[in-house]
Structure 1
Amino acid sequence: MIRIKVENVSKHFKIDDLKNDTILSMITRFLFNKKKAKRRKVLKNISFEVKEGEVLGIIGRNGCGKSTLLKIIADIYKPSCGKIITNGDLKYVSGFGTGIEGKLTMRENIFLIASLMNLSQKDIKKRFNEIVEFSGLKDFLDTKIYQFSSGMKTRLAFAINIFCIKHKKPEIILLDESLGGGGDLEYSTRALDKMNELIEGGATTIIVSHNLKTIEKYCHKVIWMHNHKIKKVGKSKEVVEKYINSFN
Protein backbone atom coordinates (compact mmCIF):
# COMPACT_ATOMS: atom_id res chain seq x y z
CA MET A 1 0.00 0.00 0.00
CA ILE A 2 1.18 3.52 -0.82
CA ARG A 3 0.87 5.64 2.33
CA ILE A 4 2.25 8.91 0.93
CA LYS A 5 2.26 10.08 -2.68
CA VAL A 6 3.81 13.41 -3.68
CA GLU A 7 3.08 14.47 -7.26
CA ASN A 8 4.89 17.37 -8.97
CA VAL A 9 4.77 19.56 -5.88
CA SER A 10 6.19 23.08 -6.05
CA LYS A 11 5.99 25.82 -3.47
CA HIS A 12 6.75 29.51 -3.53
CA PHE A 13 6.35 32.26 -0.96
CA LYS A 14 5.66 35.92 -1.69
CA ILE A 15 8.24 38.31 -0.31
CA ASP A 16 7.46 42.01 -0.05
CA ASP A 17 10.35 43.99 -1.43
CA LEU A 18 10.17 47.74 -0.81
CA LYS A 19 13.74 48.49 -1.83
CA ASN A 20 14.50 50.82 -4.74
CA ASP A 21 10.95 52.18 -4.73
CA THR A 22 10.22 55.33 -6.67
CA ILE A 23 7.87 57.96 -5.26
CA LEU A 24 5.47 57.23 -8.14
CA SER A 25 5.39 53.49 -7.42
CA MET A 26 4.72 54.13 -3.72
CA ILE A 27 1.85 56.53 -4.54
CA THR A 28 0.40 54.03 -7.03
CA ARG A 29 0.46 51.21 -4.46
CA PHE A 30 -1.13 53.49 -1.88
CA LEU A 31 -3.94 54.62 -4.22
CA PHE A 32 -4.72 51.18 -5.62
CA ASN A 33 -3.86 49.17 -2.51
CA LYS A 34 -1.27 47.16 -4.40
CA LYS A 35 1.70 45.50 -2.78
CA LYS A 36 5.00 44.97 -4.46
CA ALA A 37 6.01 41.36 -3.97
CA LYS A 38 8.55 38.87 -5.15
CA ARG A 39 8.09 35.14 -5.33
CA ARG A 40 10.72 32.92 -3.79
CA LYS A 41 10.55 29.32 -4.93
CA VAL A 42 11.39 26.83 -2.19
CA LEU A 43 10.33 23.57 -3.86
CA LYS A 44 10.53 22.60 -7.53
CA ASN A 45 8.57 19.67 -9.02
CA ILE A 46 8.96 17.20 -6.16
CA SER A 47 7.61 13.67 -6.73
CA PHE A 48 8.01 10.45 -4.74
CA GLU A 49 6.08 7.69 -2.96
CA VAL A 50 6.43 6.09 0.47
CA LYS A 51 5.04 2.60 1.01
CA GLU A 52 3.42 1.20 4.12
CA GLY A 53 5.99 0.51 6.84
CA GLU A 54 8.77 2.25 4.92
CA VAL A 55 11.15 4.72 6.57
CA LEU A 56 12.31 7.56 4.31
CA GLY A 57 15.06 10.01 5.19
CA ILE A 58 15.34 13.49 3.68
CA ILE A 59 18.73 15.22 3.78
CA GLY A 60 20.23 18.39 2.33
CA ARG A 61 21.79 21.67 3.29
CA ASN A 62 19.93 24.38 5.19
CA GLY A 63 17.38 26.19 3.03
CA CYS A 64 16.95 23.42 0.44
CA GLY A 65 13.25 22.95 1.31
CA LYS A 66 13.26 19.83 3.53
CA SER A 67 11.11 21.20 6.34
CA THR A 68 8.79 23.03 3.94
CA LEU A 69 8.16 19.74 2.13
CA LEU A 70 7.35 17.97 5.39
CA LYS A 71 4.94 20.76 6.38
CA ILE A 72 3.17 20.40 3.03
CA ILE A 73 2.79 16.66 3.55
CA ALA A 74 1.43 17.43 7.04
CA ASP A 75 -1.06 19.91 5.49
CA ILE A 76 0.41 22.82 7.45
CA TYR A 77 1.33 24.54 4.18
CA LYS A 78 -0.52 24.23 0.89
CA PRO A 79 1.48 23.49 -2.29
CA SER A 80 1.57 26.18 -4.97
CA CYS A 81 1.05 23.41 -7.50
CA GLY A 82 0.97 19.62 -7.53
CA LYS A 83 -0.75 17.42 -4.97
CA ILE A 84 -0.18 15.28 -1.90
CA ILE A 85 -2.08 12.07 -1.19
CA THR A 86 -1.84 10.50 2.27
CA ASN A 87 -3.51 7.25 3.23
CA GLY A 88 -3.84 6.93 7.01
CA ASP A 89 -3.78 8.93 10.24
CA LEU A 90 -0.79 11.28 10.26
CA LYS A 91 1.24 12.93 13.04
CA TYR A 92 3.83 15.66 12.48
CA VAL A 93 6.52 16.16 15.14
CA SER A 94 8.78 19.21 14.96
CA GLY A 95 11.98 19.55 16.94
CA PHE A 96 11.59 23.30 17.33
CA GLY A 97 9.17 23.29 20.26
CA THR A 98 6.16 23.75 17.98
CA GLY A 99 2.96 24.16 19.99
CA ILE A 100 4.75 24.93 23.25
CA GLU A 101 3.17 27.94 24.97
CA GLY A 102 5.79 30.15 26.63
CA LYS A 103 3.51 31.72 29.24
CA LEU A 104 2.41 28.36 30.62
CA THR A 105 4.33 26.00 32.89
CA MET A 106 5.72 22.66 31.74
CA ARG A 107 2.89 20.90 33.60
CA GLU A 108 0.25 23.05 31.89
CA ASN A 109 1.84 22.53 28.49
CA ILE A 110 1.75 18.75 28.84
CA PHE A 111 -2.00 18.84 29.48
CA LEU A 112 -2.63 21.45 26.78
CA ILE A 113 -0.69 19.76 23.98
CA ALA A 114 -1.88 16.26 24.81
CA SER A 115 -5.48 17.55 24.85
CA LEU A 116 -4.96 19.11 21.42
CA MET A 117 -3.77 15.68 20.27
CA ASN A 118 -7.16 14.30 21.34
CA LEU A 119 -6.09 12.52 24.51
CA SER A 120 -8.64 12.49 27.32
CA GLN A 121 -7.77 13.91 30.74
CA LYS A 122 -7.75 10.33 32.04
CA ASP A 123 -5.25 9.22 29.39
CA ILE A 124 -3.05 12.28 29.96
CA LYS A 125 -2.88 11.57 33.69
CA LYS A 126 -1.96 7.97 32.88
CA ARG A 127 0.89 9.09 30.60
CA PHE A 128 1.94 12.15 32.61
CA ASN A 129 4.69 10.57 34.73
CA GLU A 130 6.13 8.76 31.68
CA ILE A 131 6.33 12.04 29.75
CA VAL A 132 8.02 13.86 32.63
CA GLU A 133 10.43 10.99 33.30
CA PHE A 134 11.38 10.67 29.64
CA SER A 135 11.97 14.41 29.21
CA GLY A 136 14.38 14.47 32.15
CA LEU A 137 12.90 17.81 33.21
CA LYS A 138 11.12 16.81 36.42
CA ASP A 139 12.69 19.68 38.38
CA PHE A 140 11.08 22.22 36.02
CA LEU A 141 7.46 21.04 36.15
CA ASP A 142 6.15 24.34 37.48
CA THR A 143 8.57 26.58 35.58
CA LYS A 144 7.18 28.68 32.74
CA ILE A 145 8.40 27.63 29.31
CA TYR A 146 9.81 31.04 28.34
CA GLN A 147 12.54 30.31 30.90
CA PHE A 148 13.50 27.07 29.12
CA SER A 149 16.46 26.80 26.74
CA SER A 150 15.77 25.73 23.14
CA GLY A 151 17.17 22.29 23.98
CA MET A 152 14.78 21.89 26.91
CA LYS A 153 11.83 22.89 24.71
CA THR A 154 12.89 20.32 22.11
CA ARG A 155 13.09 17.60 24.75
CA LEU A 156 9.69 18.46 26.20
CA ALA A 157 7.99 18.68 22.80
CA PHE A 158 9.43 15.34 21.72
CA ALA A 159 8.46 13.64 24.99
CA ILE A 160 4.85 14.85 24.79
CA ASN A 161 4.51 14.00 21.12
CA ILE A 162 6.15 10.58 21.24
CA PHE A 163 4.00 9.32 24.11
CA CYS A 164 0.83 10.71 22.54
CA ILE A 165 1.79 9.04 19.26
CA LYS A 166 2.41 5.78 21.10
CA HIS A 167 -1.09 6.04 22.56
CA LYS A 168 -2.88 7.06 19.33
CA LYS A 169 -0.81 4.82 16.98
CA PRO A 170 -0.99 6.82 13.69
CA GLU A 171 -0.10 5.06 10.44
CA ILE A 172 2.14 7.94 9.28
CA ILE A 173 4.75 9.82 11.34
CA LEU A 174 6.70 12.86 10.13
CA LEU A 175 9.77 13.78 12.20
CA ASP A 176 11.25 17.19 11.47
CA GLU A 177 14.62 17.62 13.25
CA SER A 178 12.95 16.29 16.39
CA LEU A 179 15.50 13.77 17.64
CA GLY A 180 18.06 16.14 19.16
CA GLY A 181 18.48 16.45 22.88
CA GLY A 182 19.94 19.91 23.15
CA GLY A 183 23.45 18.45 23.18
CA ASP A 184 22.49 15.66 25.61
CA LEU A 185 23.81 12.41 24.10
CA GLU A 186 22.03 10.19 26.63
CA TYR A 187 18.68 11.81 25.87
CA SER A 188 19.25 11.63 22.11
CA THR A 189 19.95 7.90 22.42
CA ARG A 190 16.71 7.35 24.34
CA ALA A 191 14.81 9.41 21.76
CA LEU A 192 16.19 7.24 18.95
CA ASP A 193 15.26 4.08 20.84
CA LYS A 194 11.72 5.37 21.32
CA MET A 195 11.49 6.30 17.64
CA ASN A 196 12.69 2.82 16.71
CA GLU A 197 9.84 1.30 18.73
CA LEU A 198 7.37 3.19 16.54
CA ILE A 199 9.15 2.13 13.35
CA GLU A 200 9.15 -1.51 14.42
CA GLY A 201 5.43 -1.13 15.08
CA GLY A 202 4.95 -0.62 11.34
CA ALA A 203 4.43 3.16 11.12
CA THR A 204 5.32 4.73 7.78
CA THR A 205 7.90 7.35 8.71
CA ILE A 206 9.67 10.31 7.10
CA ILE A 207 12.68 11.70 8.96
CA VAL A 208 14.23 15.09 8.18
CA SER A 209 17.57 15.35 9.95
CA HIS A 210 21.14 16.60 9.71
CA ASN A 211 22.22 13.57 11.73
CA LEU A 212 23.46 11.37 8.90
CA LYS A 213 24.25 8.41 11.17
CA THR A 214 20.61 8.34 12.27
CA ILE A 215 19.42 8.58 8.67
CA GLU A 216 21.72 5.79 7.50
CA LYS A 217 20.83 3.50 10.41
CA TYR A 218 17.03 3.78 10.40
CA CYS A 219 15.97 4.71 6.86
CA HIS A 220 15.27 2.24 4.05
CA LYS A 221 15.88 4.92 1.44
CA VAL A 222 16.95 8.56 1.34
CA ILE A 223 16.09 11.64 -0.71
CA TRP A 224 18.90 14.18 -1.11
CA MET A 225 17.51 17.64 -1.79
CA HIS A 226 19.58 20.38 -3.38
CA ASN A 227 18.54 23.80 -4.70
CA HIS A 228 14.89 23.13 -3.79
CA LYS A 229 14.57 19.93 -5.83
CA ILE A 230 15.44 16.25 -5.57
CA LYS A 231 19.05 15.58 -6.55
CA LYS A 232 19.16 11.86 -5.77
CA VAL A 233 16.98 9.05 -4.38
CA GLY A 234 18.28 5.65 -3.37
CA LYS A 235 19.51 3.33 -0.65
CA SER A 236 20.52 5.13 2.51
CA LYS A 237 24.22 4.31 2.57
CA GLU A 238 24.74 5.19 -1.10
CA VAL A 239 22.93 8.54 -0.98
CA VAL A 240 24.45 9.61 2.35
CA GLU A 241 27.93 8.82 1.03
CA LYS A 242 27.39 10.91 -2.12
CA TYR A 243 25.99 13.76 -0.02
CA ILE A 244 29.05 13.74 2.26
CA ASN A 245 31.37 13.71 -0.76
CA SER A 246 29.61 16.82 -2.13
CA PHE A 247 31.27 18.87 0.63
CA ASN A 248 34.77 17.95 -0.56
Structure 2
Amino acid sequence: MSKLGVVFGGSRGIGCAVAQLLAQRGHRVVVVSRNLEAAQTKANSLPGGDHVGISCDVSNEQDVQRAFETITKTCGPVGYLVNSAGINRDALLMRSKSEDMVSVLHTNLLGSMFTCRAALRSMLSKGGAIVNIGSVVGVKGNAGQCVYSASKAGLEGFTRSLARELASRNITVNLVAPGLIRTDMTAGLKEDVEGRRIPLGRFGKPEEVAQAVLFLLETPYVTGQVLLVDGGLQLVM
Protein backbone atom coordinates (compact mmCIF):
# COMPACT_ATOMS: atom_id res chain seq x y z
CA MET A 1 0.00 0.00 0.00
CA SER A 2 1.11 3.54 -0.71
CA LYS A 3 2.43 5.42 2.32
CA LEU A 4 3.47 8.98 3.01
CA GLY A 5 7.26 9.13 3.21
CA VAL A 6 9.00 12.14 4.74
CA VAL A 7 12.65 12.49 3.76
CA PHE A 8 14.76 15.04 5.61
CA GLY A 9 17.74 16.07 3.52
CA GLY A 10 15.79 14.86 0.52
CA SER A 11 16.93 17.43 -2.03
CA ARG A 12 20.42 16.01 -2.59
CA GLY A 13 22.75 13.10 -1.96
CA ILE A 14 21.47 9.99 -0.24
CA GLY A 15 18.18 11.63 0.76
CA CYS A 16 17.52 12.59 -2.85
CA ALA A 17 18.07 8.99 -3.96
CA VAL A 18 15.73 7.75 -1.22
CA ALA A 19 13.00 10.18 -2.28
CA GLN A 20 13.38 9.05 -5.88
CA LEU A 21 13.13 5.37 -4.98
CA LEU A 22 10.12 5.87 -2.71
CA ALA A 23 8.30 7.72 -5.48
CA GLN A 24 9.15 4.98 -7.97
CA ARG A 25 7.61 2.48 -5.55
CA GLY A 26 4.36 4.43 -5.62
CA HIS A 27 4.66 6.23 -2.30
CA ARG A 28 3.83 9.88 -1.81
CA VAL A 29 6.92 11.83 -0.76
CA VAL A 30 7.54 14.97 1.26
CA VAL A 31 11.01 16.31 0.45
CA VAL A 32 12.41 18.39 3.30
CA SER A 33 15.43 20.66 2.98
CA ARG A 34 16.72 23.89 4.46
CA ASN A 35 16.42 25.30 0.95
CA LEU A 36 12.74 25.57 0.01
CA GLU A 37 13.40 26.00 -3.71
CA ALA A 38 15.61 22.89 -3.80
CA ALA A 39 12.99 20.87 -1.92
CA GLN A 40 10.18 21.94 -4.24
CA THR A 41 12.27 21.38 -7.36
CA LYS A 42 13.09 17.85 -6.27
CA ALA A 43 9.48 17.10 -5.29
CA ASN A 44 8.24 18.30 -8.67
CA SER A 45 10.74 16.08 -10.48
CA LEU A 46 9.66 12.85 -8.77
CA PRO A 47 7.63 10.28 -10.70
CA GLY A 48 3.96 10.12 -9.87
CA GLY A 49 2.10 13.10 -8.54
CA ASP A 50 1.16 15.01 -5.42
CA HIS A 51 4.65 15.14 -3.92
CA VAL A 52 5.50 18.09 -1.68
CA GLY A 53 8.64 20.08 -0.91
CA ILE A 54 9.00 22.07 2.31
CA SER A 55 11.80 23.83 4.15
CA CYS A 56 12.98 23.01 7.66
CA ASP A 57 16.09 23.38 9.77
CA VAL A 58 16.22 20.12 11.73
CA SER A 59 18.42 21.65 14.42
CA ASN A 60 15.58 24.02 15.33
CA GLU A 61 12.89 22.35 17.44
CA GLN A 62 10.17 24.87 16.61
CA ASP A 63 10.96 24.62 12.90
CA VAL A 64 10.57 20.83 13.06
CA GLN A 65 7.26 21.12 14.89
CA ARG A 66 5.93 23.57 12.31
CA ALA A 67 7.06 21.30 9.49
CA PHE A 68 5.14 18.31 10.84
CA GLU A 69 2.07 20.41 11.54
CA THR A 70 2.11 21.39 7.87
CA ILE A 71 2.73 17.82 6.73
CA THR A 72 -0.06 16.23 8.75
CA LYS A 73 -2.49 19.02 7.88
CA THR A 74 -1.89 18.94 4.13
CA CYS A 75 -0.72 15.36 3.48
CA GLY A 76 -2.03 13.18 6.30
CA PRO A 77 -0.30 10.73 8.68
CA VAL A 78 3.35 9.84 8.21
CA GLY A 79 4.12 6.22 7.33
CA TYR A 80 7.87 6.43 6.65
CA LEU A 81 10.46 8.79 8.09
CA VAL A 82 14.03 9.00 6.76
CA ASN A 83 16.57 11.22 8.51
CA SER A 84 19.27 11.99 5.96
CA ALA A 85 19.99 15.63 6.83
CA GLY A 86 23.55 15.98 8.06
CA ILE A 87 26.66 18.14 8.06
CA ASN A 88 30.35 17.64 8.78
CA ARG A 89 32.98 20.04 10.07
CA ASP A 90 35.96 17.71 10.03
CA ALA A 91 39.03 18.68 12.05
CA LEU A 92 41.28 17.31 14.75
CA LEU A 93 39.61 17.82 18.11
CA MET A 94 42.26 20.30 19.24
CA ARG A 95 41.42 22.44 16.21
CA SER A 96 37.64 22.08 16.32
CA LYS A 97 35.70 25.26 16.98
CA SER A 98 33.06 25.07 19.68
CA GLU A 99 30.39 26.52 17.41
CA ASP A 100 31.15 23.86 14.78
CA MET A 101 30.91 21.10 17.38
CA VAL A 102 27.53 22.34 18.53
CA SER A 103 26.28 22.72 14.96
CA VAL A 104 27.24 19.15 14.01
CA LEU A 105 25.69 17.63 17.13
CA HIS A 106 22.52 19.68 16.81
CA THR A 107 22.01 18.79 13.15
CA ASN A 108 23.16 15.17 13.03
CA LEU A 109 21.93 13.91 16.40
CA LEU A 110 19.51 16.28 18.08
CA GLY A 111 17.80 17.03 14.76
CA SER A 112 16.91 13.36 14.27
CA MET A 113 15.57 13.24 17.82
CA PHE A 114 13.34 16.22 17.04
CA THR A 115 12.03 14.75 13.79
CA CYS A 116 11.40 11.30 15.26
CA ARG A 117 9.50 12.72 18.22
CA ALA A 118 7.39 14.92 15.98
CA ALA A 119 6.64 12.08 13.54
CA LEU A 120 5.44 9.77 16.30
CA ARG A 121 2.34 11.83 16.86
CA SER A 122 0.93 10.47 13.60
CA MET A 123 2.68 7.08 13.64
CA LEU A 124 1.55 5.80 17.03
CA SER A 125 -1.97 4.94 15.95
CA LYS A 126 -1.17 3.22 12.63
CA GLY A 127 2.46 2.10 12.91
CA GLY A 128 5.29 3.04 10.60
CA ALA A 129 9.00 2.82 9.92
CA ILE A 130 11.95 5.09 10.66
CA VAL A 131 15.41 4.90 9.11
CA ASN A 132 18.20 7.14 10.37
CA ILE A 133 21.32 7.68 8.28
CA GLY A 134 24.49 7.15 10.30
CA SER A 135 28.02 6.49 9.09
CA VAL A 136 30.68 3.82 9.16
CA VAL A 137 32.82 6.23 11.22
CA GLY A 138 30.09 6.26 13.86
CA VAL A 139 30.71 2.52 14.19
CA LYS A 140 34.50 2.40 13.76
CA GLY A 141 35.72 5.94 14.51
CA ASN A 142 38.18 7.96 12.43
CA ALA A 143 40.97 10.43 13.17
CA GLY A 144 40.00 13.98 12.28
CA GLN A 145 36.31 13.22 12.63
CA CYS A 146 35.83 13.04 16.39
CA VAL A 147 32.76 15.27 16.50
CA TYR A 148 31.13 13.83 13.37
CA SER A 149 31.83 10.28 14.61
CA ALA A 150 30.34 11.11 17.99
CA SER A 151 27.18 12.49 16.39
CA LYS A 152 26.71 9.34 14.30
CA ALA A 153 27.59 6.97 17.16
CA GLY A 154 25.02 8.78 19.28
CA LEU A 155 22.52 8.29 16.49
CA GLU A 156 23.15 4.53 16.65
CA GLY A 157 22.43 4.43 20.39
CA PHE A 158 19.35 6.58 19.90
CA THR A 159 18.09 4.30 17.12
CA ARG A 160 18.44 1.12 19.18
CA SER A 161 16.79 2.69 22.22
CA LEU A 162 13.90 4.12 20.23
CA ALA A 163 13.38 0.74 18.56
CA ARG A 164 12.91 -0.78 22.03
CA GLU A 165 10.43 1.94 22.99
CA LEU A 166 8.30 1.65 19.85
CA ALA A 167 8.29 -2.08 19.06
CA SER A 168 4.98 -2.62 20.85
CA ARG A 169 3.41 0.13 18.71
CA ASN A 170 4.32 -1.56 15.40
CA ILE A 171 6.94 1.04 14.55
CA THR A 172 10.37 -0.13 13.37
CA VAL A 173 13.50 1.97 13.83
CA ASN A 174 16.76 1.14 12.06
CA LEU A 175 19.98 2.80 11.00
CA VAL A 176 21.88 2.65 7.72
CA ALA A 177 25.59 3.41 8.06
CA PRO A 178 27.13 4.35 4.70
CA GLY A 179 30.83 4.41 3.94
CA LEU A 180 32.36 6.58 1.23
CA ILE A 181 29.49 7.53 -1.07
CA ARG A 182 29.61 9.85 -4.07
CA THR A 183 27.92 12.92 -2.58
CA ASP A 184 28.77 16.56 -1.94
CA MET A 185 30.26 15.50 1.40
CA THR A 186 32.95 13.41 -0.32
CA ALA A 187 33.46 15.69 -3.33
CA GLY A 188 36.89 16.75 -2.07
CA LEU A 189 38.21 13.19 -1.88
CA LYS A 190 40.04 11.48 -4.74
CA GLU A 191 38.18 8.27 -5.48
CA ASP A 192 41.07 6.76 -7.41
CA VAL A 193 43.18 7.06 -4.24
CA GLU A 194 40.66 6.57 -1.42
CA GLY A 195 38.84 3.82 -3.28
CA ARG A 196 41.88 1.55 -3.16
CA ARG A 197 41.39 0.83 0.54
CA ILE A 198 37.75 -0.19 0.07
CA PRO A 199 37.47 -3.96 -0.49
CA LEU A 200 34.99 -3.46 -3.34
CA GLY A 201 37.41 -0.97 -4.86
CA ARG A 202 35.18 2.08 -5.33
CA PHE A 203 32.94 4.66 -3.69
CA GLY A 204 29.28 3.76 -3.36
CA LYS A 205 26.41 5.42 -5.17
CA PRO A 206 23.57 7.20 -3.33
CA GLU A 207 21.15 4.85 -5.12
CA GLU A 208 22.87 1.85 -3.50
CA VAL A 209 22.33 3.30 -0.05
CA ALA A 210 18.72 4.10 -0.96
CA GLN A 211 18.10 0.42 -1.74
CA ALA A 212 19.17 -0.48 1.80
CA VAL A 213 16.94 2.25 3.25
CA LEU A 214 13.94 1.01 1.27
CA PHE A 215 14.56 -2.56 2.45
CA LEU A 216 14.43 -1.46 6.09
CA LEU A 217 11.36 0.71 5.54
CA GLU A 218 9.40 -2.08 3.89
CA THR A 219 10.55 -4.99 6.09
CA PRO A 220 8.20 -5.22 9.09
CA TYR A 221 10.19 -7.75 11.16
CA VAL A 222 13.53 -5.94 11.39
CA THR A 223 14.09 -3.28 14.05
CA GLY A 224 16.96 -1.89 16.10
CA GLN A 225 19.54 -2.86 13.48
CA VAL A 226 22.58 -1.13 11.99
CA LEU A 227 23.11 -1.94 8.31
CA LEU A 228 26.54 -0.98 6.97
CA VAL A 229 26.56 -0.01 3.29
CA ASP A 230 30.24 0.64 2.82
CA GLY A 231 31.71 -1.73 0.24
CA GLY A 232 33.43 -3.57 3.09
CA LEU A 233 35.30 -0.50 4.36
CA GLN A 234 34.66 -1.44 8.02
CA LEU A 235 36.71 -4.60 7.45
CA VAL A 236 39.90 -2.61 6.97
CA MET A 237 39.40 0.34 9.34
- Same fold by TM (over 0.5)? no
TM-score (ref. length: structure 1): 0.34
Larger strand fraction of residues:
1
Larger radius of gyration: 1
TM-score (ref. length: structure 2): 0.35
Larger helix fraction of residues:
2
